[in-house]
Copies of this chain bind each other. A is one copy, B any other.
Amino acid sequence: QTSFPPFILSIIVGEILRLNEDPTVHGVALHLSENAYSNKILNAVKPEKDVDGVSDVNLGRLVRGDTYNCSISPTASAVMELLEKLVKTVDGKKVLLVGTCGPLEASLQCLLQRKGAMTMSCQWKTQQLQSKVNIFLSMPIWPAHAFCTTSCHTPRVHRAAQTNHPQITPTPLGEGKSTVTIGLVQALTAHLNVNSFACLRQPSQGPTFGVKGGAAGGGYAQVIPMEEFNLHLTGDIHAITAANNLLAAAVDARILHESTQSDKALYNRLVPVVNGVREFSSIQLARLKRLGINKTDPGTLTADEISKFVRLDIDPSTITWQRVLDTNDRFLRKITIGQANTEKGFFRQAQFDIAVASEIMAILALTTSLADMKERLGKMVVANDKNGQPVTAEDLGVTGALAVLMKDAIKPTLMQTLEGTPVFVHAGPFANIAHGNSSVLADKIALKLVGEGGFVVTEAGFGADIGMEKFFNIKCRTSGLVPSVVVLVATVRALKMHGGGPNVTAGAPLKKEYTEENLQLVADGCCNLQKQIQIAQLFGVPVVVALNVFKTDSHAEVDLVCEIAKQSGAFDAVPCNHWSAGGRGAVELAQAVRKAASQENSFKYLYNLELPIIEKIRIIAQKVYGAEDIELSPVAQSQISRYSKQGFGNLPICMAKTHLSLSHQPERKGVPTGFILPISDVRASIGAGFIYPLVGTMSTMPGLPTRPCFYDIDLDPDTEQVKGLF
Listed in ascending order, the chain A residues whose CB lies under 8 Å from chain B are 123-124, 127, 146, 205, 209, 231-232, 235, 238-239, 241-242, 245-246, 248-250, 252-253, 256-257, 261, 266, 269-272, 281-284, 323, 325-340, 342-343, 346, 349, 351, 369-371, 373-374, 397-401, 403-405, 407-408, 507, 703-708, 710-715, 717-718, 720, 722-725
Enumerate the 4 nearest inter-chain pairs by beta-carbon distance, A residue then B residue, closest first: A400-B714, A401-B710, A238-B238, A371-B717
A209 to chain B, nearest CB (A): 6
Q: Which residues of chain B come closer than 8 Å to A715, judged between CB atoms?
A: 370, 374, 400, 403-404, 407
Q: A714-B283, A723-B400 are in contact. Are A334 and B340 (CB under 8 A)?
A: yes
Q: A331-B253, A343-B333, A710-B401 are in contact. Are A374 and B704 (CB under 8 A)?
A: no
Complex CA–CA separation, A30 to B333 (angstroms): 57
Q: A336-B339, A342-B703 are in contact. Are A724 and B400 (CB under 8 A)?
A: yes
**A401 near B336: Cβ-Cβ < 8 Å:** no
Q: Which residues of chain B come closer than 8 Å to A340, judged between CB atoms?
A: 330, 333-334, 351
**B261 near A327: Cβ-Cβ < 8 Å:** no
Question: How many copies of the chain does the oligomer comprise?
Answer: 2
**A714 near B245: Cβ-Cβ < 8 Å:** no
Complex CA–CA separation, A373 to B146 (angstroms): 31
Q: A404-B231, A717-B370 are in contact. Are A706 and B269 (CB under 8 A)?
A: yes
Q: A235-B232, A724-B400 are in contact. Are A327 and B707 (CB under 8 A)?
A: no
Other A-B contacts than A253-B708, A371-B718, A407-B715, 18 sampled, CB-CB below 8 A, are: A209-B246, A232-B238, A238-B238, A248-B327, A249-B328, A249-B704, A250-B708, A252-B331, A253-B704, A256-B331, A333-B339, A333-B342, A334-B339, A334-B343, A374-B715, A400-B724, A404-B714, A404-B722
Q: Which residues of chain B come closer than 8 Å to A261, judged between CB atoms?
A: 706
Q: Which residues of chain B come closer than 8 Å to A725, judged between CB atoms?
A: 404
A310's closest neighbor in chain B, by CB? B706
Q: A407-B722, A708-B250 are in contact. Are A209 and B401 (CB under 8 A)?
A: yes
A715 to chain B, nearest CB (A): 4
Complex CA–CA separation, A53 to B717 (angstroms): 57
Complex CA–CA separation, A235 to B231 (angstroms): 12
Q: A253-B331, A337-B335 are in contact. Are A242 and B246 (CB under 8 A)?
A: no
Q: Which residues of chain B come closer than 8 Å to A713, judged between CB atoms?
A: 400-401, 404
A274's closest neighbor in chain B, by CB? B65
A399's closest neighbor in chain B, by CB? B714
Q: Which residues of chain B come closer than 8 Å to A281, judged between CB atoms?
A: 711-712
Partner of A405, one of B231, B374, B703, B704: B231
A228's closest neighbor in chain B, by CB? B408
Complex CA–CA separation, A720 to B325 (angstroms): 27
Complex CA–CA separation, A284 to B284 (angstroms): 57
Q: Which residues of chain B come closer than 8 Å to A253, judged between CB atoms?
A: 329-331, 703-704, 708
Partner of A710, one of B205, B246, B351, B374: B246
A329's closest neighbor in chain B, by CB? B249
A233 to chain B, nearest CB (A): 9
Q: Which residues of chain B come closer than 8 Å to A373, judged between CB atoms?
A: 717
27 residue pairs A–B, Cβ–Cβ below 8 Å: A123-B146, A242-B327, A245-B329, A249-B327, A252-B331, A253-B331, A253-B703, A253-B704, A266-B706, A271-B707, A330-B342, A331-B338, A331-B346, A335-B335, A335-B338, A339-B349, A340-B351, A370-B715, A370-B717, A370-B720, A371-B717, A397-B710, A398-B710, A400-B710, A400-B712, A400-B713, A404-B713
Partner of A239, one of B232, B325, B400: B232
Q: Which residues of chain B come closer than 8 Å to A404, judged between CB atoms?
A: 231, 713-715, 722, 725
Chain B CB within 10 Å, residue with most, of A231, A325, A331, A714:
A331
Q: Which residues of chain B come closer than 8 Å to A256, judged between CB atoms?
A: 330-331
A372's closest neighbor in chain B, by CB? B717
Complex CA–CA separation, A238 to B241 (angstroms): 9
A463 to chain B, nearest CB (A): 26
A518 to chain B, nearest CB (A): 22
